[in-house]
Every structure is written in structure tokens, then in C-alpha cells.
Homo-oligomer: A and B are copies of this chain.
């Protein structure tokens, strides 16, 4: 079997750095394709192709405005990703907490030495 399609889910769609860049721009508001072409320094067909993938997964919505196509972010589609990583968050924060504990112990030791 081949690799999973980038259009299979948000995880795959977002795995591509260029597409994350596109989303980062769209986070600032609705944009026509040519804006993205200029801002991201990509060829127009590439941008259109990436947008197609993002649309298939539901991360962006399109709206026809005259002869332009305005793309808008649909943030809700990113929620599954957030929910998944959020489940791991306490695991790396535990380490920070442990580090803080060590630092506090060191402080206590200093104070004891002062007395």
C-alpha cells in the first residue's frame, strides 16, 4: 500500500510546511489566491494546489467574489490536532515542574546555609 493521502485528514494536510504557512496567513483574515502567491513567494499553481488539499480536508473555505476566489480559515478543523497533542501536554510539563522542584530545593539549601 502507498502512503496516506494528504487529503485523508487534517494531520496529513498540515504536515506540509508550505500549507502551514498558508494557514498562518489566512489566520489574519480572508485572502484571494494572488495575495498568497505574493506573500509566500510561491507559483500560483502551487498555491492553488495546496489550497485544494486544505479545502478537501475542510481546513479552509472558499467564496467566489467576482473573478476572485477568497479563501478563509476554518479553524474548527484544526481542533482534532489540538485535542490530540493536548493529551500529551502534561507529560512535558511534568518535567518542567520537576525542574522547578529541583530549583526550589536548591533555594532551600541556600537559605539553610545562610542560617
List residues of chain A with CB under 8 Å of any chain B CB: 3-4, 6, 11-12, 14-17, 20, 23, 27, 73, 75-76, 78-79, 81-82, 84-89, 91-92, 95
Q: Which residues of B contact A89 (CB under 8 A)?
A: 82
**Interchain CA distance A3-B85 in the complex, whole Å:** 24
Tell which of B15, B20, B79, B95 touches A15, judged by Cβ atoms closer than 8 Å: B15
Q: Which residues of B contact A85 (CB under 8 A)?
A: 78, 81-82, 85
Q: Which residues of B contact A87 (CB under 8 A)?
A: 27
Name the residue of chain B whose CB is nearest to the CB of A19.
B11
Name the residue of chain B whose CB is nearest to the CB of A87.
B27
In addition to A6-B15, A75-B91, A81-B85, 10 A-B residue pairs with Cβ atoms within 8 Å of each other are A4-B16, A11-B15, A11-B20, A15-B15, A27-B87, A27-B91, A75-B95, A76-B95, A82-B88, A85-B85
